[in-house]
């Protein structure tokens, strides 16, 4: 089951198909029709039909907005059995790296050796994560971003498309790094950071 029937959900469905995982159903509160022909759509996270499917199969929360992914995962914690991480066959995860339950690695992503990636993370297409990086739960990495070796992103960080976090930099929980920004030193205060070098948006 894929929770979220927008573009990320459709992408996850395509990746799951290449892995031989059949998608029984999409679940979404805001869609009227299924985005994929032949795949059922259930409207409503708390509907009886959704509850029945939850009893029968694991699911993944494919919602790009970090706060919504956390909210829905938390609300469904007692009912949802998260599936293992879904890794596109067109991505590369090096030996010794680990991924938490419900995380998604999209095509073209490269995860270096000995990385630790938490639960419910989204690693966007064509991202690069350097060796020994630490990515906490609910982190979102936009397409094409580059996370340097031995860097650490705390829970809930969002790194925009094409952004760079230099090696050995730490980013505090729930910070948001704008697209194409360059983090050249550790970020210790939550906020929105843009530019090169990245500075907080006031």
pLDDT tens, residue order, the chain (202 aa): 888 999 999 999 999 989 988 767 888 888 888 888 888 888 877 778 887 777 777 888 999 999 999 998 888 777 777 788 999 999 999 999 999 999 999 999 999 999 999 999 999 999 999 999 999 999 999 999 999 999 999 999 999 999 999 999 999 999 999 999 999 999 999 999 999 999 998 7
pLDDT of residue 22: 76
8 A C-beta contact, residue 137 and residue 100: yes
Distances (CA, A) of 47 to 4, 36, 146, 182: 15, 21, 40, 44
How do beta strands 199-200 and 192-194 pair? Answer: antiparallel
CA–CA separation, 86 and 163 (whole Å): 23
8 A C-beta contact, residue 97 and residue 173: no
pLDDT of residue 193: 98
Q: Is 46 helix (H, G, I), strand (E, B) or coil?
A: coil
Cβ atoms within 10 Å, residue 98: 13
């Amino acid at each position: 089951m894929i929770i979220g029937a927008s573009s990320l959900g459709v992408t996850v469905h395509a990746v799951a198909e290449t892995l031989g995982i059949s998608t029984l159903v999409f679940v979404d509160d805001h869609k009227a029709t299924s985005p994929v022909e032949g795949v059922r759509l259930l409207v409503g996270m708390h509907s009886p039909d959704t509850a029945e499917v939850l009893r029968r199969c694991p699911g993944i929360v494919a919602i790009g907005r970090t706060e919504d992914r956390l909210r829905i995962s938390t609300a469904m914690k007692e009912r949802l059995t998260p599936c293992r991480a879904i890794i596109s066959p067109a991505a590369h995860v090096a030996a010794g790296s680990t991924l938490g339950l419900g995380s998604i690695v999209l095509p073209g992503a490269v995860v270096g050796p000995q990385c630790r990636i938490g639960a419910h993370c989204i690693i966007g297409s064509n991202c690069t994560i350097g060796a020994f990086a630490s990515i906490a739960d609910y982190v979102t990495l936009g397409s094409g971003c580059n996370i340097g070796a031995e860097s650490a992103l705390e829970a809930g960080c969002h790194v925009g498309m094409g952004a760079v976090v230099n090696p050995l930099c730490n980013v505090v929980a729930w910070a948001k790094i704008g697209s194409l920004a360059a983090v050249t030193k550790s970020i210790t205060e939550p906020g929105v950071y843009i530019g090169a070098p990245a500075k907080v948006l006031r």
